[in-house]
Amino acid sequence: MTLSTPGPTLGVVGGGQLGRMLSEAASPLGIDVVVLDPTPRAPATPVATDHIVADFDDEAAIREVAERADVLTYEIELADEGALATIEAETGTPVHPKPSTLATIADKFEQKQAFADAGIPVPEFRAVDGEQSARDALDELGTPAMLKARRGGYDGRGNVLVEDHSEVAEALDAVAGPAMIEEFVDFERELAVMACQGDGERDTFPVTETIHEDEILRETVAPARTCAETRDQAADVAERVLDVLDGRGVFGVETFETSEGEILLNEVAPRPHNSGHWTIEGAITSQFEQHARAVTGRPLGATDLRATTVSANVLGAGESRPATLLGVDDVLAAPGVALHWYGKGEVRPLRKMGHLTTVDDAGMEPDLALDRIRHHRDSLSFE
């Protein structure tokens, strides 16, 4: 493959934090990035080549991006899979991962069913269409259980813990749409694997431990603080996930490690994922560079871990207001700590505003490295 000026153009449906970091990673590869996002000054705007302001399901706008691009991808599951399929067929611009993959992933019940049909271990689940079917599902799966919106939920939104039958009606109202019930998993820890599918190539990044609170990802530890056998099981599940999905790219594979040592697949994102942000400093190739390589048909990069790496999300707190981060100089003065600011104009409670990462070249124990990154994260505040 040769490089020329101008280079290839990658169209991205979504110009949020992932689009920003994807644009940053694509540029050194000679790839221009055009993003589509409804926010006038989306986070990707300062680093992308161009930004088309339009809704994620605006077919005319997606077509415009496709006609300007050599390949089209997406950084958010709110992209319209039907429109992507039509535009791919009519313009000839390939979409990766394929729209059929997005269709499978976008509906959580269909996603779980596809993986269960492939023999991948998943928690028990049932589709529900009202109070009676929800109560029947609880009778089968037991309580507590998780009621999940089939479409649109993320960062804990659309998920409701149901303790007993009396909470069913309120939970269904909260989900407000098609839903499923999933058995509650008594897990030891949550593990994530960034799986990569290129042009005839596959690979996985090292298995990562993900630490959540209120279903929001707070910190990651790579490699995960579990035994090698369990990490191998999680990587194997991620490889099997790729058998079900079509198209090139990076896929975030979230799993549970149960107290019995079993790996159960939780959910899959057909794109770079928050649980893989640590790879920017912690791996030979970042998940964002890998996605740009994969979707444009270039060779995959090495996924090796540089050293124990921990990352912590910077989350919004307090009232919604213009985003001004305090304490930045002290964090930047800390040896080995990297700050990634997403450029979002407004801070809101629990909104992901950035993240910190440290790579422990000195052989520090993961627990100490985690304490260190938490200390620096907690020293930041919003004006």
Q: DSSP for 318-353?
A: SS-EE--EE-HHHHHHSTTEEEEE---SEE-TT-EE
Where would I find the H helices in the chain? 17-26, 59-68, 81-91, 99-106, 108-117, 131-141, 168-175, 228-244, 279-282, 287-295, 328-333, 366-378
Which of 135, 154, 183 is the last residue in one of the domains? Answer: 183
Q: State residue 219's pLDDT score.
A: 98
* Counted domains in the chain: 3
Q: Which tops the pLDDT comparison, 57 or 290?
A: 290
Tell me if 65 is assigned to some domain: yes
Burial status of residue 151 (CB atoms within 10 A of its CB: 0-12, 13-18, 19 or more): middle
The answer to whether the annotation marks 98 as part of a ligand binding site is no
3-state secondary structure of 301: coil
The answer to whether the annotation marks 124 as part of a ligand binding site is no
Which of 133, 154, 183 is the last residue in one of the domains? Answer: 183
365 confidence band (pLDDT: 50, 70, 90): confident
Taking the C-alpha atoms of residue 318 and residue 302, their distance in angstroms, rounded to an integer, is: 41
Same domain, 214 and 328: yes
Q: Which of 126, 132, 94, 130 is CA-nearest to residue 113?
A: 126
The answer to whether the annotation marks 267 as part of a ligand binding site is yes
Token pair belonging to 48: 């992308």
The answer to whether the annotation marks 185 as part of a ligand binding site is yes
CB crowding 48-69: b at 16 or more within 10 Å, else e: bbebbbbebebeebbbbbbebb
Same domain, 143 and 291: no
The answer to whether the annotation marks 67 as part of a ligand binding site is no
The answer to whether the annotation marks 108 as part of a ligand binding site is yes
Tell me if 108 is assigned to some domain: no
For residue range 272-291, what is the model confidence (pLDDT) as tens digits?
A: 999 999 999 999 999 999 99
Report, in angstroms and rounded to the nearest whole number, the Rg of the chain calculated over CA atoms.
20
Same domain, 161 and 194: no
326 confidence band (pLDDT: 50, 70, 90): very high
pTM of the model: 0.94
Domain hosting 280: range is 187-382
The answer to whether the annotation marks 273 as part of a ligand binding site is no
The answer to whether the annotation marks 190 as part of a ligand binding site is yes
The answer to whether the annotation marks 260 as part of a ligand binding site is no
The answer to whether the annotation marks 256 as part of a ligand binding site is no
